[in-house]
Amino acid sequence: MKLNLFQLLCALFITVSFTARAQLKPVAYDAMPEDGITLDTGWRYSLEDKSQFAQPAFNDASWGSINPTKPLYNLPQLKGDKIGWLRLRFKTGTKLGSRPYIYSMWHSAATEVYLDGKLLSKYGKLSNNPAEVVPIGMNLPDQEIYLTQGDEHVLAIRFALWRGPVVRSNWINFCFITLSSTNQFLEVSKAIHKGNHVYIVLTSVFFLLSLLHLAFYRYDPTQRANLFFAVYAISSTVGFFCVIMQEEVQDVRIWMFVYLPAFLTTLMGGIWIIKALGNLFSLRIKWLEIVLWCIYAIVLVLIIFWQVDTPFFIGLIIFGLIEIGLTIKALRMKKRGAGIVAFGFAVSVTAVAPFLVGITIGNLTHQILILIEFLAPALGISLYLAREFALDSSLLREKLVQVETLSEQNLAQEQEKQQLLARQNDSLESQVAERTTALQKSLIDLRSAQTQLIQSEKMASLGELTAGIAHEIQNPLNFVNNFSDVNREMIDELKEELKAGNIDEALVIANDIQQNEEKIIQHGKRADNIVKGMLQHSRSNTGERQLSNINTLADEFLKLSYHGLRAKDKTFNAGLSTSFEEGLPPINIVSQDIGRVLLNLFNNAFYAVNQKKKVANADYKPEVSVTTSRGDGCVVVTVRDNGIGIPNEIKDKIMQPFFTTKPSGEGTGLGLSLSYDIVVKGHGGNIEILSQNGVYTQFVVTLPI
């Protein structure tokens, strides 16, 4: 009796078990939602791989149930690396009828799809080795299938998992399948197509804006806002392009590389547009920038490791509020053009409002609002920058007109100078042709006229040109005066030798007188050439360069200066010390100009020691030394005296035009100024001044070889 009862219970259990299997009913779909039927219930799964699993007659009642529309990391039952199967039994109700349906699939694995035992499609490469799996599951082409009303259909999916990082993402479902009618499919495809059009337009516009503002920055690097805005436009261009590519990429392995940059570049663009606003409105946002980059880093970490969209939208809202806050602050500060930027943000906020309050809008309106949302602030800032560029260009044109006016005035003044120089030239040419005594008198008159001319030039701010002319003529005048004075003395000596009957000595003196006269004639012609060249040469172009020996030049002008002062003041006396380095290479200079520089330095040195001698005790010995040496790629001439020195308070002024410490009538204050221009501007050299008041003064002239 007990045995029969046990057998009865076993038979009952087996019967109930088979009855349960037989009673697994297919999922029935009786209505078609607006967005289609999502196949998310009734699925069974197995991690075995057998070909009979594709057949409709196979009984899958013993398989586990699963919802494949979830991300893979939420499906712990799909463990292991082997090939598995999914099966769904379903049928359409009476309201749907028998008709074609559009089958759409989105998944993160390699798959083979069977409908009622027939292979419907194959995506990617299936393998038991995850490294060999090729998961083609994004943006797959939709297929048309025919379903018969009331019939049971079996959808079987053979899958192989790819265990990459994207599979663990919240953004990708393991297997998401929908059925939709033909009309629904056409409407969805049309909406997606329009959405792509919007992002194509945004990509094109922002790319053109980046090129435009890079060009603005290229022409005006001082306006860094153009650079920041261009970087923002480039970031947005990359972001929108990635959105477009999301609808094109099919391989799951590279899908993340177009999906994730869309978030990161768009958010980064917010930082650059804030930097542009800060630069535009001259706002101090240094610490704000640091906070923005910290927020960006946090959002970046959350997106990559948590793989959720929420941090991105929070960061986008924060950046948007900061942008609006900076614009409002600029409006309160009454910054020029802030209204244009504020209008752009106002339009953008208006476009976003329907999304925030949940207003139902059509697809076309939805796309237009997205377009306005992104374009309005960008175009507002772009119009502001373009306006600033136009204003700067207008200001530049005004400056050019002013420059042209000043150029015309300068040209008129130059013509007046040329006329003045022409009159001087005519006067000087007639004077040079007279006898030596007449020439001397004319040159003295000219020197007086020069003094008056320099004084008038000081009042009219035309000192440089006239001072250059005066100093050009000063050199030959000094030669003529000096040699004339020397000849007078030598003629007296000649007479004494003739009276004494020393014919040979008299001949020597006569030869010297003849040489001096030749030099007088030479420098008289030189004065003539200078006068003729007045109309052709300015202060910065005093003659042709030629290779010259600096030792010879320094020695010549040192003696000239010393004997010239001796001729004027018989009581003057000073010790001369020269140290000329042998073998100095000749240097390419305008010897006339450098000679004028040396002569000026020597005259100043002799003047300084002479002034000190007047107030010093009897033990003071005036001394002037000249040293030449070779430096690194240059020749150095050092002129030193033990005279009155230069006070520290005027050391920085002595190179200025018309500045002099000499009594009125003894100096014009142009000597050192012209010397500085000749050495530094004309020859690329340098003049250095070392001095101690009451002890010494040292000028160091450096000339490139």
Sign, CA torsion 423/429/430/435: positive
Range from 163-172, 470-479, 527-536 carrying the lowest mean pLDDT = 527-536
**pLDDT score for 627:** 94
Sign, CA torsion 32/35/41/47: positive
- Average pLDDT, stretch 546-551? 89
Cβ atoms within 10 Å of 517's Cβ, excluding its own: 14
List pLDDT tens digits, range 233-258.
Answer: 888 888 888 888 877 888 888 877 78
List pLDDT tens digits, range 465-485.
Answer: 344 445 456 667 777 888 788
**pLDDT score for 673:** 81
In this predicted structure, the answer to whether residue 263 has a pLDDT above a threshold of 50 is yes
Cα–Cα dist 137/559, whole Å: 100
Taking CA atoms, 698 is separated from 608, 658, 695, 704, in Å, by 11, 21, 10, 20
Determine the 3-state secondary structure of 150 from DSSP: coil
Cα–Cα dist 368/356, whole Å: 16
**pLDDT score for 18:** 40
Cα–Cα dist 79/82, whole Å: 9
List pLDDT tens digits, range 668-698.
Answer: 667 788 888 889 988 889 999 998 888 899 9
**pLDDT score for 435:** 67
More confident: 703 or 663: 703
Cα–Cα dist 489/491, whole Å: 5
Percent of the chain with pLDDT over 70: 80
Which residue type sits at 413?
A: Q
Give 170's pLDDT tier (boundaries 50, 70, 90): low
Give 365's pLDDT tier (boundaries 50, 70, 90): confident
In this predicted structure, the answer to whether residue 343 has a pLDDT above a threshold of 60 is yes
Range from 71-80, 355-364, 608-617 carrying the lowest mean pLDDT = 355-364
Which residue(s) pair with 158 in the sheet?
85, 112
**pLDDT score for 462:** 37
CATH of domain 187-396: 1.20.1070
Pick the CATH number of 545-705 from 2.60.120.10, 3.30.565.10, 1.25.40.80, 3.40.50.1820: 3.30.565.10
Domain 26-180, what fold? Jelly Rolls (2.60.120)
Q: Are 334 and 282 in contact (CB under 8 A)?
A: no
**pLDDT score for 89:** 92
Range from 444-453, 467-476, 532-541 carrying the lowest mean pLDDT = 532-541
Give 366's pLDDT tier (boundaries 50, 70, 90): low
Give 333's pLDDT tier (boundaries 50, 70, 90): confident
Determine the 3-state secondary structure of 27 from DSSP: strand
Give 327's pLDDT tier (boundaries 50, 70, 90): confident
Give 624's pLDDT tier (boundaries 50, 70, 90): very high
**pLDDT score for 697:** 92
List pLDDT tens digits, range 187-240.
Answer: 545 445 445 677 788 888 888 888 887 887 888 788 787 888 788 888 888 888
In this predicted structure, the answer to whether residue 5 has a pLDDT above a threshold of 90 is no
